[in-house]
């Protein structure tokens, strides 16, 4: 199994190191050909505006949407959450609209306002997740198909999942936390080998994305 890490900009090396630590082969993704054969994809933190430009420049927009359409797990951290959101506060057009959420960039202030926190993430077990927040976004709204995975003590949402797409406002890879990457690897293994008979059932994300593509007359953008 190979999991790709978008390596255009940002903290992609730490994700590759985390994948190596859990025994999963990580692949640097810089162009569409690099997506061939990957069982999952991670969008790292960085600067979402720059990531938008580079995704378009290298022709990765539609191939990543197609990957998600096939049910391949996608995981975004920090800026990766902004990249995946269907709505960005301020009216900026979405980049890869795969998560039905409204996200606010730099919700905690400047880099000097970065902080760390212990989060309850029941899907990952009873041990709290140590989370690093650096110029982090926050989720203001979630759609009906979005599961909230974690909140801050004040109730603000910092981790979500919608079918095969996961996003966190924080950086587990900077805290030595491997459970989100293990979850993605588990999802990737299940996608690769869905079990007897499951191939006859359309993937739920495939249905929702196909409907959006048909309504828009092509891939959503």
| Catalytic member of 87, 173, 181, 203 | 173
| Catalytic member of 171, 177, 181, 203 | 171
Active site residue 173: yes
Active site residue 78: yes
The one-character DSSP state at 153 is T
Q: What are phi and psi of 161, to 5 degrees?
A: -145, 135
Tokens standing for residue 131: 């989370």
| Catalytic member of 14, 61, 78, 203 | 78
| Distance, first Cα to last Cα, the chain | 29
Active site residue 171: yes
Helices (H) and strands (E) in the chain, counts: 6, 12
Which residue, 15, 128, 3, 25, is CA-closest to 78? 15
Active site residues: 78, 171, 173
């Amino acid at each position: 199994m190979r999991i790709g890490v978008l390596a255009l900009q940002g903290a992609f090396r730490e994700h590759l190191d985390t994948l190596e630590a859990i025994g999963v082969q990580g692949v640097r993704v810089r162009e569409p050909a690099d997506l061939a054969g990957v069982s999952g994809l991670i969008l790292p933190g960085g600067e979402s505006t720059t990531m938008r430009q580079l995704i378009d420049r290298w022709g990765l927009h539609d191939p990543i949407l197609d990957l998600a359409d096939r049910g391949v797990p996608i995981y975004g951290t920090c800026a990766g959450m902004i990249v995946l959101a269907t709505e960005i506060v301020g009216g900026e057009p979405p980049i890869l609209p795969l998560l039905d959420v409204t996200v606010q960039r730099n919700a905690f202030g400047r880099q000097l306002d970065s902080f760390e926190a212990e989060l309850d993430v029941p899907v990952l077990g009873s041990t709290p997740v140590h989370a690093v927040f650096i110029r982090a976004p926050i989720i203001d709204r979630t759609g009906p198909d979005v599961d909230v995975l974690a909140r801050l003590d004040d109730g603000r949402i910092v981790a979500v999942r919608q079918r095969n797409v996961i996003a966190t406002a924080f950086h587990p890879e900077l805290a030595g936390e491997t459970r989100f990457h293990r979850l993605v690897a588990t999802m990737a293994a299940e996608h690769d080998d869905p079990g007897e008979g499951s191939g006859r059932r359309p993937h739920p994300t495939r249905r929702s994305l196909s409907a959006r593509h048909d309504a828009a007359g092509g891939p959503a953008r």
